[in-house]
Structure 1
Amino acid sequence: MKIKRLLFGVMALMGTVCVGAINYMPENVSASISLKIPGNDAKQYPLCLQKLKDNYFQYQLVSSGKMPLTIFQNVEEKGGQRRVTVFITALEDVYFNYGERIKTGYKHDNCLFYMPGFWYRRNLRSPKEAPSFHSSDSWLVREDRLSTPLTAIFDTKNKKLMSVIRIDKFDKEALTTHKEGEVILSGETSIGYTGFENISGMAMLSFGFPYKEIPKTYIRKLILAPPVEAFQLLSKGESISLTWEISEREAADFSECVQRTWEYCYDTNQPQSVNTPYTPDKIKKVLSNFFVGSYVDDAPTHYYSGVEMRTATCEDTDVAEVGFVGRTLLNAFNALEYGEQEKRTDLTANANSIFDTYLQNGFSSVGFFNEVVNYKRNFIEQIHSIRRQSEGVYAMLHYLNYEKQQGRKHAAWEKRIKGMLDMFLCLQNPDGSFPRKFKDDFSIVDKSGGSTPSATLPLVMAYKYFKDERYLKSAKRTLDYLERELILKSDYFSSTLDANCEDKEASLYASTAAYYLALVTKGTEQAHYAGLAKKAAYFALSWYYTWDVPFAQGQMLGDLGLKTRGWGNVSVENNHIDVFVFEFADVLNWLSKKYDEKRFADFAQVISSSMCQLLPIEGNLCGIAKVGYYPEVVQHTNWDYGKNGKGFYNDIFAPGWTVASLWELLSPGRAERFF
């Protein structure tokens, strides 16, 4: 920031008084600055806060050694929070990295930790190869990993939480030639760091600028790399201001910690809808190109080729997937419904062919879906997942219900689906959970219950469609399990198929599952399920970005003007954003009305508008080879799935599920109409 802007900011902070609950005093704060001369190791200068009188500034930060810069600080009381603004002025050209630590007063062993969209509790569901307490009890990370640039520490004993959030304009990013060690930025960045540290048994909030990551940086799925510390040039005579807000509040448990912190993040950042030139009708018309271009009819089951594709060509592959990530059956239903609405016989013919061929050739010997088939490689996945099976049944119940409304019956399909649902009942554990993975003989491959809520949806739908109370009873048992093991414990895990960790989809599915049961119950029972849907919704919301990550020139997503607000991070293991939303916007809108919570509906609109930004259309393909093949692995931070890194997609993607997700987002009220 230029000096004249700096002085304006200083004058705005003149006369502020250090009052409030947060004891931001020199004895509770430690600060340091690291300075680097190119070609030499950086030197760290511990800083001491000296109180000033009759000055524009409240504190000067000084070192025992001479430094080529000056550092001043003001602390402003703002709505019960403390805003800390640091002013750094260079006396000569200097490369710097500044940081602070604040004592929370909480014992580290009593604490749970929260960094939105990245860190929950202690990340102990995650493997040691990903950021977790398995590797260290202290972590500093770059802000663009997080759905809000914030760290919160929750003291489980004293029921208090303290957080730090960055309050600045995020409009710059710079490239580096290295991703570990001491790196000099090629220009200016807006990205700092945040995190928590265990210092002598006490929990500390840590933050600074520009970014650094300690003890490891997470560069790829299950690959921790050496730490990184970035240094930005501050030329002689130039100044920069940096602002953070410190907040402390009470919370009964970790669930309330996440809720109150999400509300605070939302109110602080106030994300607005993204303006795009596309109407829902236009988006569906563009996405329908996927139904045409990806249709494969030379295999025993016809399908939409939507997995293991290359962004550079979008050529069909030999892989047919019923559920995630291909979502062939849901795409077929969407294509059928849309095709009849728009009188598109090409779409309806292909969709009906998919349903017919899956009825003939799409099942295992005992009657489960063949979830994943590689036709050219002559391979059928023998291990089933409750998630894919459930997503297949979900799609088919939508299809059967739609067909019944059109006066068309499918007795053979109904028999197949009832047979699968009855096998679901046999798979369900006494505690109400479903095993994550299993075989045709019902032997269990993965007993984890994290994917249980995916089964709730088709069970509730089947109760409605077949009028069979057994399915409703089973669905309620799943919610008993979810309430006991996930929702009340604030422990949402292992719903994704390719990761074992804390993830967005477990909370999103749990909230949606409770919403489904709320739709078919009344009175106190409905109120109970609605409350569970709301509690889980805050965890799902916590994965969605409330701010816009900056990109450097030359990083495609930045050049396209992508606004990350409204996009969701995936999991601790898979640190990228995507458009996984499906019916969650409906859940948020329903909860908004139920609880008169405007934030839910407003943020649902942010999600709905923002997720359509990368629509590949003629003349603006957004890095994708074909119109309507919506991108998947959107890499927004220093992490990649194998190729390309921040600002780009991975070279392999799965548009089958992205098209299905956006289609449901653009088809509001689907579940309520079904019931």
Structure 2
Amino acid sequence: MRISLKTAVCLIVILAGTVKVKAAIGFPEEVQASLALKVPGNAAVEYPLSLSGLSGAEYEWKAQGQMPMSLTQKISAEGDKQRITVCLTASEDVYFNFREWVPTGFRHEDCLFYLPGFWYRRNLRSPQSAPSFHSSDSWIVREDRLSAPLTGIFNEVTGDYMTVSRIASFGKEALTTHKEGEVILSGSTSIGFTGFENMKGTAALAFGFPYREAPKTYMRKLTLAPEVTAFQLLRKGESVTLVWDFYKSNSKDFSDFVRRTWQDSYDTYQPQPVRTAYSPEKMKQVLSNYFVESLVTNQPLVFNSGAHMPVADCQSVAVAEVGFVGRVLLNAFNAWEYGWQTGRNELKADARKVFDSYLVNGFTPAGFFKEFVDFRKGYEEPVHSIRRQSEGIYAMLHFLAFERENGRQYPEWELRMRKMLDMFLQLQNADGSFPRKFKDDFSIIDKSGGSTPSATLPLVMGYKYFKDKRYLASARRTAVYLENELISKSDYFSSTLDANCEDKEASLYAATATYYLALVTKGKERQHYTELSKQAAYFALSWYYLWDVPFAPGQMLGDIGLKTRGWGNVSVENNHIDVFVFEFASVLNWLSKEYDEPRFSGFAQVISTSMRQLLPYEGHLCGVGKKGYYPEVVQHTNWDYGKNGKGYYNDIFAPGWTVASLWELFSPGRSEKLLAR
């Protein structure tokens, strides 16, 4: 948004104690606000506030006693929304924190809650050591945790919902010396807070400025810390302006609520493509250096080192990971294809070494991929994941299809892939799902079905490549499970391998899986899969940032100018952004044509341009040690994986998957072409 911050502090909220306001938003007589003022070295003093009429739609927040600040609030219509403006003016130098609560009138126990990119429903898939209803039924968080600075509350009984969105320029951030308790900002910030609270059984929207987090702040993976309240200095005679929009409507279910709220947020924040000097061709040229420098050839398996790598020097590590996060086989195929396209014989030769070594040494006794091997420790992971196995087959079927198209065939690889797909048929459950984790003897370690859509892709590809209808039948059964358990319930979970919670990748894989099925079916069946893909795509989109979070001076990502719009948050447990997109932009462009929906293609372009920003090359290494090793754990809020915090990366990363993801982003329509053959 391009609303400038003026010298006056106007907080825009939607409530006041008049009949007119009551009709617009409901229960205004229960609206509450408070102002906390802090003198350095002393505990803050909290002033409960009450509304008093001035004139027209303008009101004043007053405290019982004298306080060194005046607050006025104005209410106006903004289309079908209500916009609230509260202006804070200091009569002496003060450090302040303002907050307000708007009761929705919904019973708290009837509601599902939405903080985009961070909180879905009640976060009950997440453990107690991450933000969830397991720990509390009331949460407020700093806005930069969220893909849009918004809270929504959905009444599951009536279908009514209410949202509050922050409207600001979001250009400033300030450092603090502490991350919990009462903290004084070193300068001005644009980051406020938002969330929901249980007010004596009624669900309420909670919001304010500057940021607070309660009942806990989420500081590290599975680490909750004490709450935090930030105080910003306002000098005598100065004012500050803050704005929120409120919206109330009705949806048929939580999924439709998420869809409508994302569309409204897209229209509100209007994310535009990021201007970069890097074309897709330039991106691939630079990224290809990763294929060259990361190759490990002194082990039984040849592979591109892509996991557990130090960010500082990007020295190769003797860990081979077939799928996520290493994506060894997909990187080998990308290098192979690119070598043919550009005449780079060294890339072809290196990729061939990878394929040949995996054909000889890359399979378990049962015939599954050795999906994770740590040669440093002599350790081979005995537990398989349906996701990594699927990603390995996916990569090899792309390779085999490319080779067949060019008159070359590999019968040994074909036999291996058919055997793996046949074993998939054995693993599939009666409801169409696949177990998340299992062993070589087919014993189940984790029966959770959240990773099922990852298996749909190789099954559809196997059907097209081998002309075997059993694989298509199996893929169709996965779609039944996806529709019944994930998509219809808006419950996307357990796709991220190092977390078992609500995550982006489950919805992204669900959208891609049903896209694949739509590409190989016709008529009403095709339309049904297309609808499912659209529904899942909106949920996946909700994880992607529609705005640019600010960074403080000295935080590297801000100093090099990173714009966060188009980047996706990962999961409830892993609260950072990354470039996980793979084929999702192709799905969005396809859906845009299917439904004549320009928001899909428009945001696909935002994703495509924004994810080019951290391309590392000489003189522009973006904090990593080598050219083309694209960064992974991009820490954009007050959270870290164990090192460095906001504005930096963790100390180790996995460029294997980031390079593979970007490569697919810049190879649009690849699977559509394969499935059309």
TM-score (norm 2): 0.97
What is the distance in 2 between the residues matched to 1:354 and 1:22?
Answer: 64
Instruction: Give the SS at the match of 2:24.
Output: coil
- Contact 2:95 / 2:233 at 8 angstroms: preserved in 1? yes
Match of 2:15 in 1: none
Match of 1:396 in 2: 396
Residue 44 (structure 1) aligned with residue 55 (structure 2): no
Match of 2:364 in 1: 364
User: Which amino acid is the alignment partner of residue 88 of structure 2?
Assistant: I
Match of 2:130 in 1: 130
Instruction: Give the SS at the match of 1:98.
Output: strand
Match of 2:296 in 1: 296
What is the distance in 2 between the residues matched to 1:295 and 1:441?
Answer: 32
- Contact 2:10 / 2:242 at 8 angstroms: preserved in 1? no
Match of 1:618 in 2: 618
> 1:409-424, aligned counterparts within 5 Å?
409-424=409-424
Residue 109 (structure 1) aligned with residue 109 (structure 2): yes
Residue 65 (structure 1) shift? 1.1
Match of 1:652 in 2: 652
> 1:194-343, aligned counterparts within 5 Å?
194-343=194-343
Residue 600 (structure 1) aligned with residue 600 (structure 2): yes
User: Which amino acid is the alignment partner of residue 49 of structure 1?
Assistant: L
Residue 34 (structure 1) aligned with residue 36 (structure 2): yes
User: Which amino acid is the alignment partner of residue 35 of structure 2?
Assistant: I
Residue 667 (structure 1) shift? 0.2
What is the distance in 2 between the residues matched to 1:99 and 1:9?
Answer: 10
- Contact 1:614 / 1:622 at 8 angstroms: preserved in 2? yes
User: Which amino acid is the alignment partner of residue 251 of structure 1?
Assistant: S
Match of 1:13 in 2: none
- Contact 1:115 / 1:146 at 8 angstroms: preserved in 2? yes
> 1:84-233, aligned counterparts within 5 Å?
84-233=84-233
- Contact 1:116 / 1:148 at 8 angstroms: preserved in 2? yes
Residue 26 (structure 1) shift? 4.6
What is the distance in 2 between the residues matched to 1:18 and 1:537?
Answer: 39
Instruction: Give the SS at the match of 2:101.
Output: strand
What is the distance in 2 between the residues matched to 1:28 and 1:583?
Answer: 48
Residue 103 (structure 1) shift? 1.1
Distance 1:25 1:367, change over 3 A: closer
Residue 416 (structure 1) shift? 0.4
Instruction: Give the SS at the match of 1:38.
Output: coil
What is the distance in 2 between the residues matched to 1:654 and 1:384?
Answer: 19
Per-residue CA deviations over 1:140-165 (Å, capped at 9, x if unaligned) read: 00000000000000001111100000
Instruction: Give the SS at the match of 1:22.
Output: helix
User: Which amino acid is the alignment partner of residue 154 of structure 2?
Assistant: F
Residue 6 (structure 1) shift? 3.7
Per-residue CA deviations over 1:505-532 (Å, capped at 9, x if unaligned) read: 0000000000000000000000000000
Match of 2:62 in 1: 62
- Contact 1:309 / 1:317 at 8 angstroms: preserved in 2? yes
Per-residue CA deviations over 1:605-650 (Å, capped at 9, x if unaligned) read: 0000001100001110000100000000000000000000000000
Residue 376 (structure 1) shift? 2.4
Instruction: Give the SS at the match of 2:215.
Output: coil
What is the distance in 1 between the residues matched to 2:399 and 2:447?
Answer: 30
- Aligned pairs, how many? 668
User: Which amino acid is the alignment partner of residue 71 of structure 2?
Assistant: I
Match of 2:351 in 1: 351
Per-residue CA deviations over 1:103-158 (Å, capped at 9, x if unaligned) read: 10000000000000000000000000000000000000000000000000000111
What is the distance in 2 between the residues matched to 1:235 and 1:172?
Answer: 18
- Contact 1:2 / 1:238 at 8 angstroms: preserved in 2? no
What is the distance in 2 between the residues matched to 1:657 and 1:114?
Answer: 29
What is the distance in 2 between the residues matched to 1:98 and 1:24?
Answer: 22
User: Which amino acid is the alignment partner of residue 76 of structure 2?
Assistant: E
- Contact 1:18 / 1:77 at 8 angstroms: preserved in 2? no
Match of 1:493 in 2: 493
Per-residue CA deviations over 1:586-608 (Å, capped at 9, x if unaligned) read: 00000010011110000000000
User: Which amino acid is the alignment partner of residue 186 of structure 1?
Assistant: S
Distance 1:109 1:53, change over 3 A: same
User: Between the two proteins, what is the percent identity of the paired residues?
Assistant: 67
Structure 2: runs of 5+ lacking an equivalent: 13-17
- Contact 1:33 / 1:46 at 8 angstroms: preserved in 2? yes
Residue 29 (structure 1) shift? 1.6
What is the distance in 2 between the residues matched to 1:336 and 1:387?
Answer: 23
User: Which amino acid is the alignment partner of residue 162 of structure 1?
Assistant: M
Aligned-pair Cα RMSD in Å? 1.6
TM-score (norm 1): 0.97
Match of 2:523 in 1: 523
Residue 74 (structure 1) aligned with residue 74 (structure 2): yes
Per-residue CA deviations over 1:273-318 (Å, capped at 9, x if unaligned) read: 0000001100100000000000111111100001100110100001
User: Which amino acid is the alignment partner of residue 523 of structure 1?
Assistant: G
- Contact 1:20 / 1:77 at 8 angstroms: preserved in 2? no
Distance 1:564 1:17, change over 3 A: farther
Distance 1:8 1:95, change over 3 A: closer
Per-residue CA deviations over 1:554-601 (Å, capped at 9, x if unaligned) read: 000000100000000000000000000000000000001001111000
- Contact 2:9 / 2:240 at 8 angstroms: preserved in 1? no
Match of 2:541 in 1: 541
Match of 2:565 in 1: 565
Residue 377 (structure 1) shift? 1.3
Distance 1:7 1:394, change over 3 A: closer
Residue 20 (structure 1) shift? 9.1
Distance 1:106 1:25, change over 3 A: closer
User: Which amino acid is the alignment partner of residue 183 of structure 1?
Assistant: V
What is the distance in 2 between the residues matched to 1:454 and 1:8?
Answer: 48
Instruction: Give the SS at the match of 1:197.
Output: strand
Per-residue CA deviations over 1:196-240 (Å, capped at 9, x if unaligned) read: 000110000000000000000000000000000000000111110
Structure 1: runs of 5+ lacking an equivalent: 11-15
Match of 2:455 in 1: 455
Residue 23 (structure 1) shift? 2.5
Match of 2:668 in 1: 668
Distance 1:615 1:517, change over 3 A: same
- Contact 1:503 / 1:570 at 8 angstroms: preserved in 2? yes
What is the distance in 1 between the residues matched to 2:619 and 2:628?
Answer: 12
Instruction: Give the SS at the match of 1:216.
Output: strand
What is the distance in 1 between the residues matched to 2:244 and 2:432?
Answer: 45
Distance 1:41 1:324, change over 3 A: same
Residue 24 (structure 1) shift? 5.9
Residue 18 (structure 1) shift? 5.3
Match of 2:407 in 1: 407
User: Which amino acid is the alignment partner of residue 599 of structure 1?
Assistant: R
What is the distance in 2 between the residues matched to 1:524 and 1:499?
Answer: 36
What is the distance in 2 between the residues matched to 1:244 and 1:596?
Answer: 31
Match of 1:627 in 2: 627
- Contact 2:616 / 2:627 at 8 angstroms: preserved in 1? yes
- Contact 1:306 / 1:654 at 8 angstroms: preserved in 2? yes
Residue 464 (structure 1) aligned with residue 464 (structure 2): yes
Distance 1:2 1:152, change over 3 A: closer
Residue 22 (structure 1) shift? 2.8
Per-residue CA deviations over 1:648-674 (Å, capped at 9, x if unaligned) read: 000000000000000000000101100
Residue 86 (structure 1) shift? 1.2
User: Which amino acid is the alignment partner of residue 180 of structure 1?
Assistant: E
What is the distance in 1 between the residues matched to 2:75 and 2:566?
Answer: 31
- Contact 1:130 / 1:223 at 8 angstroms: preserved in 2? yes
Residue 7 (structure 1) shift? 10
What is the distance in 1 between the residues matched to 2:22 and 2:197?
Answer: 24
- Contact 1:26 / 1:49 at 8 angstroms: preserved in 2? no
Distance 1:301 1:6, change over 3 A: same
User: Which amino acid is the alignment partner of residue 36 of structure 2?
Assistant: S
What is the distance in 1 between the residues matched to 2:436 and 2:518?
Answer: 24
Distance 1:260 1:281, change over 3 A: same
